Structure 1
Amino acid sequence: MKAFSTEQNAMGVISYNEDVLKTMTGMAISRVDGVAGIEGSGNILTRKNLSQINKIFMEDKKVNIDLSIVVEYGLPLRETAQKVQREVREMIGTMTDLNVGAINITVAGLDIKD
């Protein structure tokens, strides 16, 4: 598993395991009304599958995230995706000292309730 680290300080280096960042991302997604799930998990977001985020990678000293989400039918897709971007950026920025770069979102499906 990859680890993402910040710059070294006087006491050493702080690193964040990829699963920790994925879990934080999943928690942020779960706070957005209208997101029914993430593609790849096959399920609605639960604590058990929060870390099943598509891809997290470091580029230009910034954490970048690729997500595929499933949105509840009838909601504005663009607005919902932007809410996810804001929540993810805020959570990772608040909980770590990592810089967040791009949060790329693909709306991969609609959850149509009968």
Structure 2
Amino acid sequence: MSIDNLEFDVTEMGQIRIAPEVIEIIAGLAATEVRGIAGMSGGVAGGIAELLGRKNLGKGVKVEVGEKQCAVDLSVVTEFGTRIQDVAAEVQSNVKRAIENMTGLEVVEVNVHILGVTFKNDEKEEEVAVSPSPRLR
């Protein structure tokens, strides 16, 4: 599988192609719908894009797409006080369901990487991030 591949289906009318970026957006939106997820963590490139005024809807999402299957890696920030294992499991389920329902692809894995925790104060929100391990870079 390669991120450069496009999902395609041949019908009587022609081919249907789904770009990997579309799957990234679906996965990112499905992940942020889960209670306990404060946001996606896109690293330096995502932060620069946001500073330039471009909202990156696929921020913190990496996909590998084959002809009929895909794998997803998500980098997220959780809210303090939530049970991380439960939140991550719900993210996996929601992302898998959304991609399969919208694209027809079989999702073979959804890997959730927790890269930070958000603490909410009365006046401001503070985020504490952890340094990713070398294998996640």
TM-score (norm 1): 0.83
Higher helix proportion, which one? 2
Answer with 5-14 or 69-78: which moved more: 5-14
1:90 is aligned, of 55, 76, 97, to: 97
TM-score (norm 2): 0.70
* Identical counterparts, % of pairs: 32
Q: Closer, same or farther in 2 for the Cα pair 1:60/1:105, shift >3 Å?
A: farther
Aligned CA-pair RMSD: 2.3
Q: 1:3-46 CA distances to partner (integer Å, 9 max, x unpaired)?
A: 53144344433111111111111110121011011111458xxx
Q: Closer, same or farther in 2 for the Cα pair 1:34/1:70, shift >3 Å?
A: same
Answer with 1-10 or 25-34: which moved more: 1-10
Unaligned runs of 5+ in 2: 122-137
Higher gyration radius (CA): 2
Amino acid at match of 1:74: G
Residue 59 of structure 1, CA deviation: 5.4
Corresponding residue of 1:110: 117
Amino acid at match of 2:18: Y
CA distance in 2, matches of 1:96, 1:24: 9
